[in-house]
Amino acid sequence: MNYSVVDYLSISKDGDCGYCKSSETSISHGVGADCTKPPRKKSKLLRLERKIEKMRNAGIVFTPSKNVTTPEKTLEDFVRENDAAYPRKLELELVPSCSDEKILQECYNLYKKYQMSVHKDEESELTFSSFSNFLVVSPLQPYKDAETPDCGYGSFHQLYRLDGKLIAVGVVDILPRCVSSVYFFYDPDYSYLSLGTYGSLRELHLTRSLARQSPQLNQYYLGFYIHTCPKMRYKGRLQPSYLLCPEAYTWHPISSCLSKLDSSKYSRLNDDKNVKSAEDDVDLDKTKHEVSPTKLYMLREYALLVGKTCASRMFLRW
């Protein structure tokens, strides 16, 4: 038996959690690897060493080949749908967000349970109307043609059922170039399964599946990244991951951004100060009437917020 050496880390109140309502609840404790000891050998290497030792004792000379490597497994290798060898059955279903009332009620009950347990929300605040406005009603209109994947574009709920019971829901927007993760909630009774991490991997698998139907749909967008929120750190563990510079609107590997975010909560991620977003080059000469300097300032501010491409397609009426 090959044991790992760990240290007790005691209780720590350092750090802030964006999901905690009070600093008194931001507490962690546990054990960690002893940094003064060498890392534990992998089981695969230990098995190889035992095999070589047995062969040497039997008088057999064993020389491992340097050219033979184990093929790296892909995400698809780990996803097994309806494997008869497993006693439990996990099913995933992708449905439009405005589906039938029975499914919506089921999702709402799970959402309320999740919010009360994980985020400590008051039950009185968790109305069906607030749930619907947050995760059901969408400005995206369903769209489907020969160029879209089979499911089309729009807002969807990905339902996770274990032996027929709804245990998690992933809310996603399927867009022409990416799958955008909106929200994920699960049954707290199954929190030991790390369903949040599993959900992000399944959504990544969904993106790759859709990309085989529509090659231009090849990105997985995880939404906002708040560096000071520990519960968002999992987003950076999916590699390769990129963060969008809030000023230049250019993408950068998250590994090159961490030191900047450690120093400041807000940081320009593009080191070249001369780089500006092409979306900032808005043209206000097309206004139909003369406007006051104040309204012109407001117009420019709005155009910069939506970007050049979107602003050129809009008619703003005062």
| Chain segment 158-184, per-residue pLDDT in tens | 999 999 999 999 999 999 999 999 999
Whether 192 shows a pLDDT value over 70: the answer reads: yes
Mean pLDDT of all residues in 135-146: 92
Query: Distance (Å, rounded) from C-alpha 40 to C-alpha 34?
Result: 10
Q: In this predicted structure, what is the pLDDT of residue 150?
A: 94
pTM of the model: 0.69
In the chain, where the domains are located: 6-62, 77-223, 278-318
Q: In this predicted structure, what is the pLDDT of residue 25?
A: 59
Whether 118 shows a pLDDT value over 70: the answer reads: yes
Please provide the CATH number assigned to the domain covering 77-223.
3.40.630.30
By the 10 Å C-beta count (0-12 exposed, 13-18 middle, 19+ buried), 221 is classed as middle
pLDDT band for 253, please (50, 70, 90 cuts).
very high
137 in Cβ contact with 104 (< 8 Å): no
